[in-house]
Amino acid sequence: MEKINLDNEIIHVVCGLNLEEVWIITAYFPDEIEWEKDLKTRRGNR
């Protein structure tokens, strides 16, 4: 999973690739309730 800054917003992008193509599987703005402050670590069940 890679994070990209878009207009000062963090977006998570999941993709697959081979030598010729890149497939975007999903892209979303992470919810601060679901992710830690670093936006890299998913919070556990509450």
Walking along the chain (46 residues) 10 residues at a time, the average pLDDT comes out as 70 94 94 89 79
Residue holding tokens 């000062």?
Answer: 8
Count CA atoms closer than 13 A to 4's CA, side-chain side: 8
How far is residue 46's CA from residue 10's CA, in Å, rounded to a whole number?
A: 23
How far is residue 8's CA from residue 29's CA, in Å, rounded to a whole number?
A: 12
How far is residue 5's CA from residue 29's CA, in Å, rounded to a whole number?
A: 10
Look at residue 1 and give its three-state secondary structure: coil
Q: State pTM to two decimals.
A: 0.64
Domain boundaries, the chain: 1-46
